[in-house]
């Protein structure tokens, strides 16, 4: 019984200590909201890449926050209208020339492993508790027959 309690306590601690996989702290903005923020002067700097990812700093209520947006077919580093809009509103622009990467390069094994542990750990704990319960039940029924 002490082993069951110790194992259950260990599993609970692991579930609490291992954080769930989360997205980055950057706020996501729809492209239209990004353009509106630029026009209202809330965007101070942006980073553009060839895959239409737009990220940067948004000033809202006196606080600076990181944001990310996706321009789709528009909003790339090669879009002259976006570059003109950013220049008109004195937004600092930098460009990135990222290499296209595969699934494991983008996601990485870390979040996948954390997700699997978070999914499998409760199942393994339940199976272990059921096995211990059945073992204790069968050992008690064996003793009562003696």
In which band, very low, low, confident or very high, does the pLDDT at 22 lie, cut at 50, 70 and 90? very low
Q: Are strands 27-29 and 43-49 parallel, antiparallel or unpaired?
A: unpaired
Round to whole Å and give the CA distance between 61 and 47: 22
Residue 47 has pLDDT above 80, yes or no: yes
Domain count, the chain: 1
Residue 60 has pLDDT above 60, yes or no: yes
Q: What is the mean pLDDT of residues 6-10?
A: 69
Domain, as residue range, for 121: 2-145
The model's pTM: 0.49
Question: Who has greater pLDDT, 115 or 91?
Answer: 91
70-101 per-position pLDDT tens digit: 766 555 666 788 889 999 999 998 887 765 55
CATH number of residue 68's parent domain: 3.30.720.210
Q: What ranges in the chain are assigned the alpha helix state H?
A: 2-17, 31-39, 80-88, 103-107, 109-145
29-43 per-position pLDDT tens digit: 888 888 899 999 999
């Amino acid at each position: 019984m002490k082993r069951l309690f110790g194992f259950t306590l260990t599993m609970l601690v692991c579930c609490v200590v291992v954080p769930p996989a989360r997205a980055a702290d950057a706020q996501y903005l729809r492209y239209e909201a990004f353009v509106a923020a630029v026009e209202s002067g809330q965007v101070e700097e942006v980073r553009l890449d060839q895959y239409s990812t737009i990220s940067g700093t948004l000033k809202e209520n006196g606080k600076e926050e990181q944001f990310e947006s996706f321009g789709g077919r528009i909003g790339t580093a090669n879009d002259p209208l976006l570059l003109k809009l950013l220049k008109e509103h004195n937004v600092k622009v930098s460009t990135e020339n990222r290499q296209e990467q595969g699934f494991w390069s983008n996601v990485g094994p870390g979040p996948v492993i954390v997700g699997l542990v978070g999914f499998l750990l409760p199942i393994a704990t339940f199976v272990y508790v059921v096995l211990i319960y059945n073992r204790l039940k069968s050992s008690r029924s064996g003793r009562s027959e003696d």
